[in-house]
Amino acid sequence: MQPVGDQNMGDRRAGDDPARRTARRHGAPGPRSRARGAAVLAAGAVLALSVTACSSGSANGGSSSGGALTASAVTVHRSMEIQTGKMDGRSGWPRYSPSSFTAPAGATVVLTIVSYDDGTAPLPPASPWGQVWGGDATYGATTGGTELVDGTPVHSIPNDQVAHTFTIPGLLVNVPIPAAQSSSHPVTVTFTFRVMKKGSFNWLCAAPCGSGETGMGGAMNTDGWMEGHVSFT
């Protein structure tokens, strides 16, 4: 899909709501923002306390089955595109497309995320979601921990430059996505990881990129937009 040639995409999520745009870009968390952040952190904390909880999937909003698998020599490629509200036809609603994918458990997954979103959704300075996660075998994910941003390896994105994240709490996977250079020059993030167990897991965007004063409404709470599912079979 080709990007829409609109040079005012910096306001593509804000619509006509300057209060929400200001709150989001200054990273000011409101009640819903804090609630969502607390929920994600709680998921990670519960997982850290119990490998059994991780294996059962009861604490991560998804489900998993079976024990650890043997690593496979198979490499699969999956891709997602972050579209802006002006691209997907729903003003103020950024969207991951597709919002879900399936991959073989034990295989190396090369995930490419192309984002046309040139506006930021800044995270609070102490937020952990600007860091690249995904190398802790305790949670079933290995080989992660580094991403490529337009070909350059990085371990984190400055919190004030984050536009979105691709976060799987149940696997402790987090892929921060920086803002694109412009609406016609997308940013490409490549993340390589392996999940050593079968199961279905929820992913979400941890950056406040939706509607409302805190940026936590609309697309942020809608499956198929800033939330989805990944399955390892």
pLDDT of 172 strictly over 80: yes
Q: What would the two tokens of residue 181 be?
A: 């250079």
Report the domain count for the chain. Answer: 1
At residue 89 the predicted structure's pLDDT band, cuts being 50, 70 and 90, is: confident
In a domain, 68, yes or no: yes
Domain that holds residue 109: 12-232
162 inside domain: yes
Least confident of 61-75, 113-127, 142-156, 157-171: 61-75
| Residue 217 phi, psi dihedral angles, 5° rounding | -100, -170
CA 169 to CA 171: how far, in whole Å? 5
Closest-CA residue to 203 (of 216, 190, 220) = 220
Consecutive H or E run containing 21: helix 18-25
pLDDT recorded at residue 124 = 94
User: How confident is the model over 146-150, as a mean pLDDT?
Assistant: 97
Inside any domain, residue 3: no
Q: How far apart are CA 172 and CA 164, in angstroms?
A: 16
The verdict on residue 5 lying in a domain is no
Q: Are the C-beta atoms of residues 162 and 113 closer than 8 Å to each other?
A: no
Task: Give CA–CA dist 153/88, Å, rounded.
Answer: 30
Asked if the structure places residue 40 within a domain, the reply is yes
pLDDT, residue 67, reads 58
pLDDT of residue 63: 61
